[in-house]
A and B are shown apart, each in its own frame.
Chain A
Amino acid sequence: MTEPPPMNSFGDVVRWVVEELGAFCPSAERLAAYWRKPFDPQYRDIRYHVEEAQCPICLADRPEKPKEP
C-alpha cells in the first residue's frame, strides 16, 4: 500500500479521512439518484462532493454516460 501523506496534526488526519476514507460520501441510494439526475437541486451537496471536491470513491461509481438534465 502506498503510504498516506504525512499526518502531523489532527487536522491532517481529518482531511485525510474526508478525502480518502469517504467520510463525507452520500448514501449509496442518494449517489445513485444523483447519477440519474445530476442537476436536480436536491442533490446539490453531492454535486459539490463529486464535481468540486472530486471524491475519488464516488467518481469511481460514476456510470459511463451521465444523463443530461
Chain B
Amino acid sequence: MASSAEAEFQTAWADCQRALREYLVRAFPRLASEADDLLQEVFMEAIQRFRAEGMPAVVDWRGWCRTAVRHRAIDRLRRWELRAFRQLSGQKTSSQSDSFDSSRPSESSSSEPVDSSPGPATQAAEKQRRTRQGLLLSEVLVDFCRFCEAKPTRLKMKEAYERVLHGQRPEQIAAAMELPPAEVHQLLYRARQWILERIRQADVDRSVFVTLFAGKGEKPR
C-alpha cells in the first residue's frame, strides 16, 4: 500500500504528466515517438526507488519530475553517442581522430576504407576505448560548465568555449563578447587546458588522451 508521501508523488505526477510530456517533446524532439514509454519508465523507477530507499524530502515535485525526465531522456540519447563511437571505432584507427573543436587545426575526415590489419583483440580494445571516450567527452563538458559556474570570473571562459563549439572563430567571439582578441585566445587556451587536464585525470591508461592528440604533433604531458 502506498505511503502518504508516495501518494503525494503520484498525485503530483498525475497533475503534471501532460506538461512533462510537452516539455519532453520540446526539449528532446528526437524522443517524441517514445515520450509515453519514457515517462512510464521514469514513473515506475521512481516508485520502485522510493519503496526501496524511502521517500526523499521534496518540496517541488513538479521540478523533481522534470529533472528526472530530463536525465532519463539524456541517458537514452547517450546510447546513440555510444553507438556513434562504436561506429567510429570501426571506421578509423586511433591516428585519425579529428579536432575536438572547430577553431583548432583539423585533419580532414577520412573516407578511406577501414584498415583490416588489426586483429580482433586490437579492434575490441579500440571499441572499448572509443566507448569510454564517448562517455567521457559528454561528462567532461558538463563538469567544465559546473566548474565555470562556480566562480563568476570563469563565465567568460564558458561562453567563449561554447561559441567555439558552435563554430565561431576567435575573432568572431572577440567581437561578439566585446573582448580583446588576445583575451579570447587566452580564455580558449585555459578552457582546453582544463578539459585536457580533466581527461588526463580520469583516463587512467591515457588511451583517450593519446587518441585525441594522435597525429596532431601534440604530445601527452
A residues lining the B interface (CB < 8 Å): 1-4, 7-18, 20-28, 30, 42, 44-45, 48-49, 53, 56-57, 59-61
Chain B interface, DSSP helix/strand/loop, else mixed: helix
Closest chain A residue, CB of each to CB of B163? A48
Q: Known contacts A23-B141, A26-B149: does B77 contact A18 (CB below 8 Å)?
A: no
A2's contact among B30, B67, B166, by CB below 8 Å, is which?
B30
CA distance A52 to B156 in the complex (A): 15
Stretch at the interface among B81-89, B112-120, B197-205: B81-89
User: Chain A residue with minimal CB distance to B107?
Assistant: A9
Binds A, one of B3-11, B40-48, B51-59, B96-104: B96-104
- Residue among A9, A53, A56 with most chain B CB within 10 A: A9
Partner pick for B162 among A11, A24, A27, A42, CB 8 A cutoff: A24
Q: Are B98 and A9 in contact (CB under 8 A)?
A: yes
Instruction: Give the distance to chain A from B174, nearest Cβ to Cβ, in Å.
Output: 14
List of 7 A-B pairs having minimum Cβ-Cβ separation, nearest first: A60-B27, A23-B141, A60-B26, A45-B159, A7-B84, A9-B98, A57-B27
